[in-house]
Chains A and B, each alone.
Chain A
């Protein structure tokens, strides 16, 4: 039974918007290093010191990664390190888990205001914080903040964030799928001074570790935090010693100014306009069957970019993030696509960015609503939304279109396993296989298969031997998932599937906590007529006969090959895997780019041979007929004609070879152009669709399909949700080119996803 979640009076105190504090808000006990704007730094020293600052960050990250015992940190690189100026603006961020970009600055900004008087901020102190309303993505993300002082004045901050395997709460791994509210989730710590004068406060360490189911790992990570922050602090002090505090301070400020200037220049390359997206998460906690939308309207005006999430749904269950998650999630899409050659000095970039995130929504929950899945739910959903809008925005600029990525890895497919490990000791872990997500297609190439996450520049998925060596499981298979990459002129990258049975458990079960979204419908979107990627999936074959397979010297190639009772497990679930239960999980590939009917048949054939696309999907989505390992050219031509006819319900007028002529003065995307009178037309055949003052989709032929038409791997959504979702296709009425696709609630209007400002 759901119950009312009470608003807690006074909880607003613990809320950081990430705004740079005014000096007047800070206790006079804390002296802050003054920025001397007139201090000159020559261009050579500037470059030399900027490089050294970058290197400090790099060294800090390397140190953290080597010490951390958390596979979440070491494999997924779900950690990050930052260097901030005296009041928390980010000068450098490490090339690790990007949503953490938002945590530390939000937290530092809150800490300087609320801790400067009592207990005070002193040299050699460190503050630990995982409070989502102050800046964490979810309670498992613990940050450690170290102030750096010069001559008694607060000069800079360094911080590190690491995802912890478990910090308590009602479900193992602190992914609290059963929680009604935040009080049942992992313990929250607003900034607490855990290191005082360079020494760990043992009493506070005990308070911290006491609440974890994996205190040894969490204790190791606490040391990783401290050691890496110390490295950064030490190097900063050496640099200050050598070049002088004023110079270092000035270089930090100039680094942010420079990033801002370059970013604004980039934005000015792009036409003004608004790009919109609706993206969804389903099932907000166990037993729930709802669908929750994240709505983004992204507006680019001159050299500024605004992200307005106002229309998003109210907070629900445990899938929400806070403002830090919405901002951090958006930066995942912003930095690699818009700032690929600009330093990631977020303090500068933020000056050209604006985020509107109303309190009480899935992307900015009100305390004490649940946030334990925030990092990979609300935050991820913000990434999906921001990527969706940015990719479409870049498609409007010929010089920048090569930088866009269609939807990447629509969701994270959490598997928390616990039980007794191979050393007969208790274990809790997050299985990191789903690091191997597929990336979205590009305008010139397919998406990378099993590429990684968009949120982490680098990362790795564990070896099967590593997992089997640690945990009592035996894999039947782990492979790239056929048809998981969204079809398109360029195909989305494939995701993968893992399947195991318990092994050597002495009859004991393995406990599993599962948390994902994008299971009832795909969340890795296609661009310019590409299809979305596949859906995530958890399957369990209960009481299987896998032992009989082994006994006769064979290994099943698919979970459906063994006998037993097949269960499709819901996206938020806790269960046990018994000795003969076969567990499989599948995660997301990337979305496609462009209409798959124009993909050269040889490339489709290569995909069939390479097991990326099935023969059936080749025919259905690409119109390519493959028989006996070859393309049947005649049948393919016919099939493609037939599909085009089906799209319009008649033979298309235009073949598509005419192209839009020179009257078209502006480009909206790779498929749409605009003429001098502000009419939108098909880029392929020149057909005029309608005035740019209204949603161009109303001028296209629209087809609403059952969601299962979006991808061959989607199962009946009624297994998991009540509301109806649809897969929509929009075709040019003249040449039948697939201009766009969208996955939305059946009740939603077509999303006006790209609207250039009228000149």
Chain B
């Protein structure tokens, strides 16, 4: 009984075993590139330990970076691509956003180093076919079967392993693409085929082509990876179904991965947001800023009204894909961000020491001072108890790096330089979180912050205070570092179906209703194909609306039920409300006309009923968990003060005031002066201003 979630990260493969009694077990093993399945099997063996865990579980969830890595290294299938005559260059041109998508402003200002990515399919493997459909879906030139067959033979002769197809306006009229697929199957039996009207039937041919090409590129690899993994797990006695995490924060059956490989891209950061949603339901937190602080990157996602915020596109390796994704904004800030002096000012990042050589204190040859070095110098991180003491850090090297590269050039003490670096890094993080919430029309003060990832609890107290949130939480204490894997284990089975059909308000209720019926049928098929047991299905209707002429759409929910003129009027009103929330009162302008672009259905099934154990909170006195007192410097006080150090003995109910530090095995939590920490019944460390908790 129970559920396993395994998350393959860059350095570690994390496993969370969620037992039916709500107990959570966590195991980590090194990742094993390039064959990541080995690391997965290693970590599974480690938890199983002949206890028969694998044979007893009900569900196995996996978050894999196989597809993402294949994209970045170009190691996916050698593909061919077929498109409408005259439009071979859709992919090479990349609508020119391929040069800038996903790049930071500081990178983009360096024009001479700004490039498009290496193409996943070169021009020589893109074939054109005579066919043409117009904006209404009407056939202008029928599919010319001779030219279609020629195209397949041409690609076959180039030894392609998979073929993607995208014709103009195919989302309005799928017949040419479907016939094209039949012709490919006739001429090249056994070839993997991705057609755009299946993969992403939405308007915008560049993004649809990119999504289709990427799916064809990664599907063969992902499918065989999951097939082998399934084999290994079955041979170890697992009978539970295998699910794969998608970037939109739900999972899909491994068997569906061939058709929907593209949805697994960038699923890495999604787990933490899903786990936040799950924990938030238990704690009664509808609005959460999810802050994942890793060694080299800082990822922020949002849960609003109990649901993660989703965007309809994602960016991978500078390709823009029509793959719904949890809206996550990242910056290269984290423990590895490097502090440096620029004339007379102190800067932190965007350069990072990465995992290798890593911070100076790792002793692997790094000489640049990082934020982690600053944490060590100030005594926040105990060099002898990093990762439970399994990884010794060298404080002298950290001090040397800060002294040489920051303190001396700025004529400051090492202590001031270190605390300045941390202060700047914390502000960069809180600025990003603020931007993330405010740009989406929300006020951070209506949120709580969940700070997780290896360095989340180190910095969370500071950026939570800076943002003015109600509360900052280090979820599940020590488990904060494997929080993403927990998200896998508690994810729903989800699917998104969509369809583009431009229309100007007032919309026709009959067409509107018919489109949603089609999408809902398709969503149910996706969810129930293997008769997943239990759980109730939820279907959410969304339309993307905008004022006529705009490019940016606003997702607007559509109530369930019969589509009437009244309901449509309510939808328009809701759009304008949301619009004004985003852009300010008076920004709406109905005179321009309201345009509908895309219909979307998000379907979800709760497959398991996971919960985590809650124990009665005991005494508040935390003295027994205190392992010592150290004199540490706190920037906000401007001096060194007695700081309580707490350890693994912390129990639910215990509470204490900052300044204090909790040294868990896998992470360290800072409780700043003026803050109060309390461990709740789930083992979460909750930070509130003193006097409010």
Q: Which residues of A contact B (CB under 8 A)?
A: 43-44, 46-48, 50-52, 55, 58-59, 62-63, 65-71, 74-75, 95, 216-217, 219-220, 223-224, 226-227, 230-231, 258, 261-262, 335-337, 339-341, 344, 402-405, 422-423, 435-436, 439, 442, 445, 448-452, 454, 457-466, 468-469, 474-480, 496, 499, 503-504, 550, 553-555, 557, 609-611
Contact status of A95 and B108, CB under 8 A, knowing A51-B427, A461-B95, A465-B169: yes
Report the Cα distance A517→B592, complex, angstroms. Answer: 34
Contact for B587 among A67, A457, A461, CB less than 8 A: A67
- Cβ-based interface call for B85 (8 A): yes
Query: Which residue of chain A is the closest to B428 with respect to CB atoms?
Result: A51
| A43 pairs with B410, CB closer than 8 A | yes
Cβ-neighbour of A340 out of B100, B109, B142, B586 (below 8 A): B109
* A44-B346, A458-B100 as given contacts; A341 in contact with B110, CB under 8 Å: yes
* B582 contacts partner chain A, Cβ-Cβ < 8 Å: yes
| Interface residue B445 (Cβ < 8 Å from any Cβ of A) | no
Q: Contact check, B345 vs A46: say whether CB atoms are below 8 A apart.
A: yes
Cβ of B347 under 8 Å from chain A: yes
Q: List 13 A-B contacts (CB under 8 A).
A: A44-B423, A51-B431, A220-B547, A220-B589, A226-B587, A344-B109, A450-B89, A461-B96, A465-B205, A469-B203, A553-B141, A554-B85, A610-B124
Q: Pick the contact of A65 from B116, B132, B552, B589 — CB < 8 Å?
A: B552
Q: With A216-B592, A231-B584, A469-B502 as given contacts, are A457 and B550 in contact (CB-CB < 8 Å)?
A: no
* Closest beta carbon of chain B to A249's beta carbon, Å: 17
Per-residue CB contact flags for chain B residues 128-156 toward chain A (1 = under 8 Å, else 0) read 00101011100011101000000000000
**Which residues in A have their C-beta under 8 angstroms from that of B552?**
65-67, 74
Cα distance, A712 to B135, chains bound together (Å): 36
User: In the complex, are the beta carbons of B586 and A226 less than 8 A apart?
Assistant: yes
* Cβ-defined partner of B99 (8 Å) among A58, A261, A403, A448: A448
CB neighbors of A among B537-584 (8 A): 547-552, 582-584
Known: A47-B424, A448-B115. A611 touches B435 (CB 8 A): no
With contacts A337-B111, A451-B99 taken as known, whether A75 is within 8 angstroms of B551 at the C-beta atoms is yes
Residues of A within 8 A of B87 (CB): 464, 475, 477-479
Q: Inside 8 A of A95's CB, which chain B residues have their CB?
A: 105, 108-109
Contact in complex: A555, B130 (CB < 8 Å):
yes
- Looking at the complex, which one of B420, B424, B549 makes contact with A217 (CB distance below 8 Å)? B549
List chain B positions with a Cβ less than 8 A from chain A: 85-90, 92-97, 99-100, 105-106, 108-112, 114-116, 122-124, 130, 132, 134-136, 140-142, 144, 168-169, 203-207, 343-348, 410, 412, 420, 423-424, 427-428, 431, 434-435, 438-439, 502, 504, 547-552, 582-584, 586-589, 591-593
CB neighbours (8 Å) of B344 from chain A are: 43, 258
B435 touches A479 (CB 8 A): no
Task: Determine if A227 and B140 form an interchain contact, defined as CB atoms under 8 angstroms apart.
Answer: no
Q: With a 10 A CB-CB cut-off, give which of A435, A457, A468, A469 has the most chain B CB atoms.
A: A469
Give 10 A-B pairs besides A261-B343, A449-B92, A468-B135 with Cβ atoms closer than 8 angstroms.
A43-B344, A95-B105, A216-B591, A227-B584, A340-B109, A436-B95, A442-B112, A450-B92, A460-B97, A465-B203
3 closest pairs, A vs B, by CB?
A477-B86, A69-B549, A44-B420
Chain A residues within 8 Å of B112, by CB: 336-337, 340, 402-405, 442
What is the minimal beta-carbon distance from A507 to any residue of chain B, in angstroms?
A: 17
Taking CB atoms, residues of chain B closer than 8 Å to A555 are 85-86, 130, 132, 141
Measured in the bound complex, the distance between the Cα atoms of B204 and A503 in whole Å is: 19
Q: Which listed residue (B88, B116, B435, B551) contacts A55, Cβ 8 A?
A: B435
Per DSSP, chain B at the interface is mixed
**Residue in contact with B111 in the complex, picked from A454, A466, A480, CB distance below 8 Å:** A454
Assess whether A423 is in contact with B504, with CB atoms less than 8 Å apart. Answer: yes
Complex contact B587–A47 (CB within 8 A): no
Q: Is the CB of A469 within 8 A of B132?
A: no
List the A side residues contacting B116 at CB < 8 Å.
448-449, 451
| A464-B205 in contact (CB<8A) | yes
Kindly name the residue among B115, B343, B582, B589 whose own CB sees the greatest number of chain A CB atoms within 10 A. B589
Contact A58 B435 (CB under 8 A): yes
Query: Contact between B592 and A217 (Cβ–Cβ < 8 Å)?
Result: yes
Residue of chain A at shortest CB distance from B142: A553
Contact partners of A499 in chain B: CB under 8 A: 86
Set A51, A70, A458, A557: member contacting B85, Cβ < 8 A = A557
- The residue of chain A having its C-beta at the shortest distance from the C-beta of B504 within the complex is A423
CA distance A223 to B584 in the complex (A): 10
CA distance A234 to B410 in the complex (A): 34
Say yes or no: B130 contacts A554, CB within 8 Å: yes
Of A46, A216, A262, A442, most B-chain CB atoms within 10 Å: A216
Given contacts A47-B346, A95-B109, contact A422 B135 (CB under 8 A): yes
Min CB distance A251 to B, Å, is 11
Chain B nearest CB, measured from A247 CB (Å): 14
Contact of A219 among B205, B504, B589 (CB under 8 A): B589
Contact status B134-A504, CB under 8 Å: yes
Q: Are the C-beta atoms of B343 and A436 separated by less than 8 Å?
A: no
Q: Is the CB of A220 within 8 A of B346?
A: no
Contact B111 A336 (CB under 8 A): yes
Chain B residues near A63 (CB-CB < 8 A): 439, 583-584
Q: Measured between C-beta atoms, what is the minimum distance from A15 to chain B in Å?
A: 32
Whether A496 contacts B115 by the Cβ 8 Å rule is: no
Chain A, residue nearest B438 (CB): A59
Report B524 CB to chain A, min CB distance, Å: 29
Which of A55, A336, A466 makes the CB contact (< 8 A) with B204?
A466
Q: Which residues of B contact A47 (CB under 8 A)?
A: 345-348, 424
Do the beta carbons of B108 and A458 come within 8 Å of each other?
A: yes
Q: Which B-chain residue is minimally distant from A404 (CB atoms)? A: B112
Query: In whole angstroms, what is the CA distance A369 to B144 when docked?
Result: 55
Give every chain A residue within 8 A of B438 (Cβ-Cβ). Answer: 59
Contact B110 A219 (CB under 8 A): no
Q: Is the CB of A44 within 8 A of B424?
A: yes
List residues of chain A with CB within 8 A of the CB of B88. 479
* Chain A min CB distance to B506 (Å): 13
- A230-B584 in contact (CB<8A): yes
Nearest-Cβ distance from residue B99 to partner chain A, whole angstroms: 6
Q: Which chain A positions have C-beta within 8 A of B136?
A: 504
Q: Report chain B residues within 8 Å CB of A479.
A: 86-89, 93
Taking A95-B108, A423-B504 as contacts, is the C-beta distance between A478 and B86 under 8 angstroms?
yes
Contact between B203 and A258, CB atoms less than 8 A apart: no
Distance in Å: Cβ of A420 to nearest Cβ of chain B: 14
Chain A residue at minimal CB-CB distance from B410:
A43
Cβ A227 vs Cβ B420 within 8 A: no
Considering only CB atoms, which chain A residue lies closest to B592 in the complex? A216
The distance from the CB of B692 to the nearest CB of chain A, in whole angstroms, is 20
Residues of A within 8 A of B89 (CB): 450, 478-480, 496
- List, in ascending order, chain B residues with CB within 8 A of A71's CB: 549, 551
Q: Distance in Å from the Cβ of A369 to the closest Cβ of chain B?
A: 32
Point out the residue from A66, A69, A550 that lies within 8 Å of B583, measured CB to CB.
A66
Q: How far is the CA of A337 from the CA of B90 in the complex (A)?
A: 30
A465→B420 contact, CB < 8 A: no
B residues less than 8 Å from A55 (CB atoms): 431, 434-435
CB distance from A670 to the nearest CB of B (A): 14
Chain A residues positioned under 8 Å from B109 (CB to CB): 95, 335-336, 339-341, 344, 457
Query: Which chain A residues border B587 with CB–CB below 8 Å?
Result: 67, 223-224, 226-227
Complex Cα distance A550/B550, Å? 33
Q: How far is the CA of A735 from the CA of B283 in the complex (A)?
A: 79
Residues of A within 8 A of B203 (CB): 463, 465-466, 469
Q: Which residues of the partner chain B approach A339 to less than 8 Å between Cβ atoms?
A: 109
CB <8 Å contact, A262 and B439: no
Q: From residue A199, how far is it (CB to closest CB) to chain B in Å?
A: 9
B124 partner residues in chain A, CB cutoff 8 A: 609-610
Q: Which of B93, B124, B207 gathers the greatest number of chain A CB atoms within 10 Å? A: B93
On whether the beta carbons of B111 and A463 are closer than 8 Å, the reply is no
- Residues of chain A contacted by B169 (CB below 8 angstroms): 465, 468
**Chain A: which residue is nearest B503 at the CB level?**
A423
Which chain B residues lie closer than 8 Å to A223 at the CB level? 583, 586-589
